Structure 1
Amino acid sequence: MVGTFRPRRVASAALLGALALGLAACGGEYPNSTFNHYTEYNTAIDALWDKLLFWGTLVFIGVEAGLVYTIFRYRRRPGGATPKQVHGNTALEITWTAIPAVILVFIAIPTVSTIFKTQAKAAPDALQVEVIGHQWWWEFKYPQLGITTANELYLPNGRTVNFQLKTVDVLHSFWIPQMGGKRDLVSNRTNYLWFTPNADLPSSAWNGFCAEFCGASHANMRFRVYTVTPAEFEQWAAHQKQPAVFKAPVVAPAAANAGTTPVQLASLQQGAVGDSSAAPAAPVVPVWAFPKERLDAEFAYTVPTAKLPTAISFDESLLAQGDAERGRQTFSRSSCIGCHAIGGTPFTSPIGPNLTHVGTRYTIAAGLYPNDAKHLAYWIKSAPHMKPGSIMPTVGKGLTDPVRKNVINVGGLTDPEIADIVAYLQALK
């Protein structure tokens, strides 16, 4: 069968393809894009990508041009002679072997160079952060500072951060798309990753994810990253080093308030939560966390969007009556102390997230829900209903645990007791 070349049909197909490419390029913000230069890590990776894309495009154009030329030049024509059979062409075979070899050299050199650059050891003065993956939440330890927190990671701009990546169960993968990285957490092994947030970055918020399928709630294993100025990081670290307190906020001295926003001025009296009346006097340390007004105004893409389950209910009117002191007492005699640590108290279990300053965090359940009274109450009442596979058991009295299938009676918490615990945890600033 002899084909007919139809320019209009080809032009229509080309126009349709160009329109599709144009529409694909339309869009707004890309909060999880990796094509940024916010760290030397993703600058190097992006440069490598550009080189590979350039050489790959050249190869594609050359191969396709040769293919199209061959199709049209040697296509079947009416009355055409039978093509001559060719059994080999040494010069041609050497050429098409040499050209890919040369191209591979141009690809291999920058690739190997980037691998060595990103796999090198971090600078000796780097901030050390131990990242521990759990099913399904993130634990962050700052061994140089004596700080342990969960699911929210603070990094100072302009300082190299060296991450020690570990897992306590299955494989996970630590990934902050806009900062670069993505490295696996492997059982019985410590992997390393380092980068330096640009010194001129403004205080910013970023999404973090687990990028290795790790079970039922893999997609719910998120975390939040805040890159802040060195001064802001020092403020945050100084507060995080303090034991948990839940007394009423007091006004910090004017000298300590210089240059801070109203959100940052909230200060709490020092003292052990377990016995606030006997606590010795100590300097007031201002509470500092990433400004919520900036988070709400500029980083809408970090707001959790998960919906509350319909399988459980909670009397939300009780939240206004919650009492932090009653909540502390209820917490101290409940099963909560078997899994959670709170600095300055006898509660030291490392099984679940550290709750020392949980009131300053913006999310719970590894970034799945906002850290407000309503979501916290539902989470305490039945975490497995809120997050599939959660090892935190149901504690709401009378409920059936969806994983263990047992009805919670002895040791279960009523809605008023949960409201008190919510008040206590929210006061741990």
Structure 2
Amino acid sequence: MSGPAAAADAPVSYKGWRGIRRAFATPSAVTMLFLGFGSGLPFLLIASQTLSTRLRDVGLDLGSIGLISLASFFYLLKFLWAPLIDRYAFPLTAFLGRRRSWLLASQIVVMIGLVGLAFTRPDVGVAPLVGWVLLASFAGATQDSVVDAYRIEVAPANAQAALAATYTLGYRFGLILAGAGALYLAEFRDWIWAYLAMASLMLLPIMTTLLCREPVAPESTVVRRIDFVGAFWQPFASFFSNNGVALGLALLLFVGLFKFPDQVIGVMSGPFYLDSGYTKADIATVSKLFGVWMGIAGAFAGGIAVAAFGFRRMLLVATFGVALSNLAFLLMAQNPGQIWAFYAAISADNLFQGFAGVVLIAFMSSLTDRNFTATQFALLVSLANLPGKFAGGVSGYLVEATSYSTFFVLSALTVLPTLLLLAWLWRRIRETPQQAPVASPAA
């Protein structure tokens, strides 16, 4: 954007309580609410607890459930094709612009994938289910990459913490429906109805994509000059050029370890709830409904804390919180079937998950070069999920070899390498973004 409008936008401040309210009142905040919803809706259905609960419900063993969860690995590898998202518009929908063209295509494929999953029979054979999970996870990962790039590009850098909280709010609404909604439908109807209903809800983010504006691309000609091969290596070269090799590798490692304690138990949580004697309706009410609202509260607390104190100190708080919240599940392990233990564990876990999620988004946004937002943010998000995803794939075997209680204690202890790395990074973490936005479009 140029001219008087850009000049008018430049002095807008998003600091303090008044700034936070201003950021949440912008059209982009509403857009991120619905785009976040579209990102959160498919995740549990194709890559996490709802799918694993469905598989356990039809009698699959824990080891097989853990291995099947690896079929959603595209969420970990989205940085591999993100350079194409940064460089080109999607051909069939290019008239919408570079970001919106990819958004619409990926959202439609997610909806198709959920319809396909609705009609699979994992009790008969898992091959068709794995195929649909692969398709849906590829589309879902692509959607996530574009939404992250859209969020960073559509608003000034000083509004990112508020927009991260708004995005998280929408994401958590998606989790409520994909978790509690799907489980209620599965309990009182069947899994086919549950997945078809979730597929129809993808129409909300699709309509948002059609109605929202395309973000203004940076005025820098860097992206325009690079060729097809450069589209892949230039984003990575830029990251290490901005940080140096040693610091760059340390930052990537820290991002990869940050949420490991929480992610390593993700696949086993659904089976753990069932094995502890809770019904699908109990799981829907406590974990997928009450728990998601606790996550929303944690997300807003994280957004406010980052705005007030900066993300560096909040990284320390979140690191401890994510690890210690795993120990709350010992209450459930020692008191199986007790609803109070379920509420207590879910309260601690989801509060710190929501808090840590916003802190991590703000931190990763500060590391991103706006010439390569989709690629660099996708790389960071993939690293944030990669170690825990692979550990989750074998977590079922660990539980079967020991016990749920031992598993939760071991998962909490995995925070130690993260704390040591954070101590080394403490004086090297920058609170301001590496590159301010070239243009300052209205948020």
Interval of TM-score (by shorter of Structure 1 and Structure 2): under 0.3
Name the structure with the higher strand share.
Answer: 1
Q: Which has the larger radius of gyration?
A: 1
Q: Report the TM-score, using the length of structure 1 for normalisation.
A: 0.25
Identify which of structures 1 and 2 has the higher relative contact order when contacts are C-alpha pairs closer than 8 Å and 6+ apart: 2
Name the structure with the higher helix share.
Answer: 2
